[in-house]
Chains A and B, each alone.
Chain A
């Protein structure tokens, strides 16, 4: 049973765009591509469509260089390249949230090249705990909702929206449970399998994903607790979606106990609150969730957050998986590194790109880091 769930997750993660094409053919429904975890997917779901997260492609860039500078994040660059090579022609629309400068500018370059595709940018606040942020975002969501309704020729009812919110919360709760089980028994599921669960959640209809995930959770609960000696690590970073990289942890004798990743916990932590009108509830959720470094928050300090995560998971080190050319993460890095050092938490920064790259270099550095942690453990 768990093998079936894991296999499905792995298949969808490996070929996300094929899954979307199949779904479209089977159901006759619409598929919208979205960028980044700040997009209020619930609205798309409530309109009956399949929202799929675009995370670039693992191929070298050819045509996009004529339209975007090479020193931007490869998620943006490879996505634009893939779009220009017609890999996304099955999409009925592409939507963007405001998060970082690169996504912001990609949005305008994109619509310039694909004027026939439905397009919109939901301009979320950058300052997520600004006094008027909720009022502003609720109204901005209403604007998008109206535009979508006009485009589809049908209204999205409050009931449909509430139902979608519940479905999304159910998936989030299941992912929280998965992470909790992993913290207790990290050897029971590999880092790559967890990554595949997330990658497929970004692309499947939520209710379908939740059903499979619950099966996986039941089996994890029944799994024997391993008294393994794997070195426990926490991951931090932006979009790491290379199973080849996550495979390296097991290979080098480490287990991942938790993460603060855009392709990890940031996607699902924090449920939509129960009170208020649907759009207010959705606005509240996207403002209160663990912020991406591209957001400004007066109350959230990522240094404290990561140290707590390390302590809670009884972790021995932090491995940072950061897509190159990411300003928000790069600006945060030195002060985070400094705090981890002050707290005696070893850390390693690994820069990645979407395009195929030599995994050997990453492997060597990770192995050396894990070896160092093993030695430290022995000498305690």
Chain B
């Protein structure tokens, strides 16, 4: 009887290459004058892409650690620090990896700042507070009120205002301008493959604090 083999998905090879290139680029970000931000799965990543900041997803990385059978060891590191075993294992895995530098990629690149949006759950709020203290970097927060029935204009307006505020915070943190009037090529605001970059220029003093994007 011949061995049963699952069909091979041909895209897996290409996917692995892309992932590897992505993480290598993120780890060399500083050399290329780029910033790295850790972001929650539900966070407004468009803002990071628009500002040429490399987004990193700790939740995704934690799942990877689990698949590579490293989750238990990393969680134990967090538990030794006092993080309860009752806490989300994504968070414990991530904290364990961040503190020890261990993991399938030998740890994630250090964030220049963090973006936390609590639409996914309330635990991310606390997890990202821990990370902000650990790395001593700015934490940009987007509070999305939970919708029990319907989205209200009030909630929408509240979140919209926070997006505007977040953009300003990111501009200051990354020392660049979100918008088109800087004269940089348009490809800064479209999703790129690793290796394709636009040159960055610092925000002129006279233009700092101005949002640039239409409300």
Instruction: Decide if A296 touches B148 in the complex (CB within 8 Å).
Output: no
Tell whether A88 is near chain B: CB-to-CB under 8 Å.
no
- State the interface size on chain B (CB cutoff 8 A): 31
Whether the pair B122, A140 counts as a contact (CB closer than 8 A) is: no
Given the complex of chains A and B, what is the CA–CA distance between A330 and B130 in angstroms? 11
Contacts of A98 in B (CB 8 A): 145-146
Q: Choose among A71, A139, A330 the residue with the greatest number of B CB atoms under 10 Å from its CB.
A: A330
Which residues on the A side are within 8 Å of B155 (C-beta)? 123, 136
Name the CB-closest residue of B to A126.
B143
Stretch at the interface among B14-22, B81-89, B175-183: B81-89
Contact B126 A107 (CB under 8 A): no
Contact string against B for A residues 275-306, beta-carbon threshold 8 Å, 1 for contact and 0 otherwise: 00000000000000000011010100000000
Inter-chain contact A328/B145, CB cutoff 8 Å: no
Q: Known contacts A123-B146, A131-B161; is A104 also within 8 Å of B122 by CB? A: yes
Report chain B residues within 8 Å CB of A133: 143, 158
Which residues on A sit within 8 Å (CB–CB) of B162? 127, 130-132
In whole angstroms, what is the CA distance A325 to B88 when docked? 11
Interface size in chain A (residues, C-beta < 8 A): 37
Which residue of A is nearest B79, CB measured?
Answer: A334
Q: For the complex, is A101 an interface residue (Cβ under 8 Å from B)? A: yes
B196 part of interface (Cβ distance < 8 Å): no
Chain B residues numbered 59-107 whose CB sits less than 8 Å from any CB in chain A: 81-84, 86-88, 91
Smallest beta-carbon distance B114→chain A, Å: 12
Q: Mark A94-112, 1 if CB is under 8 A from B, else 0.
A: 0000101100100110000
Q: Which of A35-81 contact B (CB under 8 A)?
A: 71
Contact bitstring A110-144, B, C-beta under 8 A = 1, else 0:
00000000000101011100111101100110010
Smallest distance from the beta carbon of A77 to chain B beta carbons, Å?
13
A335 partner residues in chain B, CB cutoff 8 A: 130, 133
- Determine whether A14 belongs to the interface, using a CB cutoff of 8 Å to chain B: no
In Å, the complex CA distance between A324 and B127 comes to 18
CB of B165 within 8 Å of the partner chain? yes
Contact in complex: B82, A143 (CB < 8 Å)? no
Q: Beyond A140-B154, A331-B83, A335-B130, is A294–B122 a contact (Cβ under 8 Å)? A: yes
State A161–B87 Cα separation when bound (angstroms): 40
Which of chain B's residues have a CB closer than 8 A to the CB of A71?
86
A residues less than 8 Å from B88 (CB atoms)? 327
Is the C-beta of B129 less than 8 angstroms from some C-beta in chain A? yes
Contact A334 B82 (CB under 8 A): yes
A363 to chain B, nearest CB (A): 22
Q: How far is the CA of A249 from the CA of B155 in the complex (A)?
A: 45
Are A331's CB and B145's CB within 8 A? Answer: no
What residues of chain A lie closer than 8 Å to B145, measured between beta carbons? 98, 123, 125, 136, 140
The answer, yes or no, to whether B206 is at the interface (CB within 8 Å) is: no
Q: Is the CB of B154 within 8 A of A324?
A: no
- Nearest-CB residue, chain B, relative to A336: B82
Which B104-139 residues have a C-beta within 8 angstroms of A?
Answer: 118, 121-123, 125-127, 129-130, 133
Q: In the assembled complex, which residues on chain B have CB atoms less than 8 Å from the CB atom of A327?
A: 86-88, 122-123, 126
Residues B152 and A127 in contact, CB atoms below 8 Å apart? no
Q: Given B81, B141, B154, B165, which contacts A136 in the complex, CB threshold below 8 Å? A: B154
Interface residues in chain A, defined as those with a beta carbon under 8 Å from any beta carbon in chain B:
71, 98, 100-101, 104, 107-108, 121, 123, 125-127, 130-133, 135-136, 139-140, 143, 293-294, 296, 298, 324-325, 327-328, 330-335, 337-338
